[in-house]
Amino acid sequence: MPQNLTQKILAAHLVEGRLEPGAEIAIRIDQTLTQDATGTMAYLQLEAIGVPRVRTKRSVSYVDHNMLQTGYENADDHRYLQSVAARYGIYFSRPGNGICHQVQLERFSVPGETLLGADSHTPTSGGLGMLAIGAGGLDVAAAMAGAPFYLTMPRVTLVRLSGRLPEWVTAKDVIIELLRRLTVRGGVGRVMEYGGPGVATLSVPERATIANMGAELGATTSIFPSDEQTLAFLRAQGREGDWRPLAADPDAGYDEVIELDLSSLEPLICLPSSPDNVRPVREVAGTPVAQVCIGSCTNSSYTDLASVAAILKGRSVHPGVSLTVSPGSRQVLAAIARSGALAELIAAGARILEAGCGPCIGMGQAPATGTASLRSFNRNFPGRSGTPGDQVYLASPLVCAASALLGVITDPRDLGVPPRFAEPGPLPVEDNMIIPPPADGSTVEIVRGPNIKPLPRRGPLEEDLEGRVLLRVGDNISTDQIMPAGAKLLPLRSNVPALAEHVFAPIDPSFARRAREAGGGFVVGGQNYGQGSSREHAALCPMYLGVKAVFARSFARIHAANLVNFGILPLVLGEVSDDSLSEGDEWRIRRVREQLAGGGPLRVENLTQGTSFEVRHSLTPRQVQVLLAGGLLNYLRDA
Ligand code: MIC
Ligand code: SF4
């Protein structure tokens, strides 16, 4: 049977199950990554699981999100992470070394291997032919402990690329075009596998941009073949030995095929406040912008920043615009320093930030009230920038650079001659900011500052669930709305009691208080509930507040798995009418353990209205057992 690339890698890593769409499979994980915002929790969980040393081929812990040190909290977290890494056999990428996905691509990713990362943009390494999946921290901790990763076998969509990108059009426009066509729900339950003659025209960093933002489609992951471009990238990293050619078999089958002619694309832009709110740039050209931010794991390669510098060269940023540039890695920063691009950016008036996530996660640079911010990033969910009511647009670095010069959203084709810039020459490959673990870490002392609070746990699932509908929300609610991040809250990621006070704060600041007073309850959502980030705090903190079940029309993949991991039931509303779903109503699910184990629909009584209705679930037998135990940690302990 001819196989596509996704099937080949899954088959080579399969531990349980059959490769049939919709079935639960378990795969062996070769590599893991964490970052500081998810990592503290993941390592507290690894400690709780209790293995002496990680059992993966390679695990890396990055510090890239919580970089501002306005108090002791983030610095405490960094010290904890560094000591845990040494203790358990994990590589530690120090603050300043770059964004996890960029550094992983440069230094560690291997074609044909599997990567599980505690960050939703882990699929970036799919640009290098790796099967790279984002997950909650607890799933990553379990993988570090040697457990396989369980997922629903996705459908595989072939995106067949033909033609070649026109001048001024970039890889970012390819993925924005797919978001235009498919929306933020279009990739759910799917792997986007790229193929066709257009693939060979794209470099690995360009492929990484596309694979990265496949997360915004809701896809399980995205993957490109490993070919001559991959070899060239690895050779420049001094890692030629990690290369091997990989592609789908010539007659491989796919569940769907999407045709995309690169030559037909034009510069595109995502309008506030969703990555699928897409227009051609020319339609919104002239809109004033007060801030332009270039960087993030989507667009901060050498080529991205060098092309921006080439556009800005000899000119000045518009007086009404604050332009920030954050390099994706220290290697990229060193390369633009060496080529002279950095000097051009500085001369034009760019504000150079350290290599890290920075404004993408609201770690500084919140935009001014009522102004538009244009970013080369991947997400513009409401309030994510740190400013309530923000107006964030997303586009390619070329659109960003042109707009920074003119002070209004600008179609870069209006600038005339496309940017030309020098290749960096031999890359400054230097791993002195990556600390390898000692051969024996058993005597390393783990440093726990006051910001490291113990893990909250819950007991097994109760016999009956009863409580109020604490909150009812609409479609596409992102984890940025459930559990916001940003400079003020990220320092609390290892302190669940303090962080839980901010659950749903952007939607209803009284939520945490009401949940506490009621002793917990239920949440009702719409379609695609929990899209976006992999942060398990969006499940863990509601669990801490006593939320027992979330009812929604549909769930985003990672968030649904996180809810199960923390013992919250993700229940699907199906055709239940909106009238039965009023906030404040008292609901009850009797004999919930028995109903859940039975596999069929569950009956919910609306005690306030004196009615009842049925809800479904799409939980696997293993997930049911996890829920009965009260979450994955209890389940692993009891196993
Ligand atoms: C994000 O882009 O939202 C983050 C911050 O990288 C998250 C992880 C987190 O919340 O810590 C992600 O995408 O998973
Ligand atoms: Fe960091 Fe932004 Fe990428 Fe998340 S999306 S990993 S915050 S750069």
Model confidence pLDDT, tens digit, residues 41-78? 999 999 999 999 999 999 999 999 999 999 999 999 99
Tell the residue number behind the tokens 């839980």, with chain if given: 500
Whether ligand 2 lies within 6 angstroms of the CB of 329 is answered as no
Tokens of 304: 């991205």
493 Cα nearest atom in ligand 1: 11
Which superfamily does 465-638 belong to? Aconitase, domain 4 (3.20.19.10)
Whether ligand 2 lies within 6 angstroms of the CB of 82 is answered as no
> If you average pLDDT over residues 251-270, what whole number do you get?
98
Whether ligand 1 lies within 6 angstroms of the CB of 535 is answered as yes
119 Cα nearest atom in ligand 2: 6
> If you average pLDDT over residues 149-163, what whole number do you get?
98
Residue type (1 letter), 28 = R
Q: What are phi and psi of 143, to 5 degrees?
A: -65, -40
534 Cα nearest atom in ligand 1: 14
Q: How confident is the model at residue 588 (pLDDT cuts 50, 70, 90)?
A: very high
Residue 424 has pLDDT above 90, yes or no: no
> If you average pLDDT over residues 240-264, what whole number do you get?
98
Average pLDDT value over all residues in the chain: 97
Within the chain, all domains assigned CATH 3.20.19.10 are found at 465-638
Closest residue to atom 10 of ligand 1, CA basis: 535
Q: How confident is the model at residue 503 (pLDDT cuts 50, 70, 90)?
A: very high
3-state secondary structure of 487: helix
- Identify the sign of the CA torsion 109, 114, 120, 121: positive
Task: Name the nearest CA neighbour of 615 among 548, 551, 522.
Answer: 551
279-415: in CATH 3.30.1490.190 = no
Residue type (1 letter), 219 = A
Whether ligand 2 lies within 6 angstroms of the CB of 361 is answered as yes
Torsion on CA atoms 484, 117, 27, 153, rounded to nearest 10: 50
Whether ligand 2 lies within 6 angstroms of the CB of 113 is answered as no
Closest residue to atom 7 of ligand 2, CA basis: 361
Within the chain, all domains assigned CATH 3.30.499.10 are found at 5-264, 279-415
Residue 423 has pLDDT above 90, yes or no: no
> If you average pLDDT over residues 500-528, what whole number do you get?
98
Whether ligand 1 lies within 6 angstroms of the CB of 387 is answered as no
Q: What is the pLDDT of residues 225-242, one digit of tens each?
A: 999 999 999 999 999 999
Cα distance between residue 149 and residue 233, in whole Å = 29
Residue 315 has pLDDT above 90, yes or no: yes
The set of residues, in sequence order, having a beta carbon less than 8 Å from that of 577 and lying 6+ positions away, is none
> If you average pLDDT over residues 154-173, what whole number do you get?
98
pTM of the entire predicted model: 0.98
Closest residue to atom 1 of ligand 2, CA basis: 357
Cα distance between residue 188 and residue 31, in whole Å = 24
276-296 burial, b for 16+ CB within 10 Å, e for fewer? bbbeebbebbebebbbbbbbb
357 Cα nearest atom in ligand 1: 6
Whether ligand 1 lies within 6 angstroms of the CB of 172 is answered as no
Distance 558 CA to ligand 1 centre (A): 12
Distance 37 CA to ligand 1 centre (A): 7
Residue 317 has pLDDT above 90, yes or no: yes
Mutate to test the pocket of ligand 1, among 41, 99, 119 (most ligand atoms within 8 A of CB): 119
Whether ligand 2 lies within 6 angstroms of the CB of 360 is answered as yes
**Among the bound ligands, the one closest to the CA of 394:** 2
Q: Kindly calculate the radius of gyration of the chain based on its CA atoms and give it in whole angstroms.
A: 24
> If you average pLDDT over residues 83-108, what whole number do you get?
98
485 Cα nearest atom in ligand 2: 7
Mutate to test the pocket of ligand 1, among 36, 38, 43, 217 (most ligand atoms within 8 A of CB): 38
Cα distance between residue 340 and residue 423, in whole Å = 11
Whether ligand 2 lies within 6 angstroms of the CB of 34 is answered as no
Closest residue to atom 6 of ligand 1, CA basis: 119
Confidence at residue 638, expressed as pLDDT on a 0 to 100 scale: 86
**Among the bound ligands, the one closest to the CA of 99:** 2
CATH code, residues 5-264 = 3.30.499.10
Closest residue to atom 7 of ligand 1, CA basis: 533
Distance 479 CA to ligand 1 centre (A): 9
Residue 422 has pLDDT above 90, yes or no: no
Q: What is the pLDDT of residues 5-36, one digit of tens each?
A: 999 999 999 999 999 999 999 999 999 999 99
The mean-pLDDT minimum among 88-92, 309-313, 441-445, 455-459 falls in 455-459
Q: What is the pLDDT of residues 347-383, one digit of tens each?
A: 999 999 999 999 999 999 999 999 999 999 999 999 9
Distance 406 CA to ligand 2 centre (A): 27
361 Cα nearest atom in ligand 2: 7
Whether ligand 2 lies within 6 angstroms of the CB of 121 is answered as yes
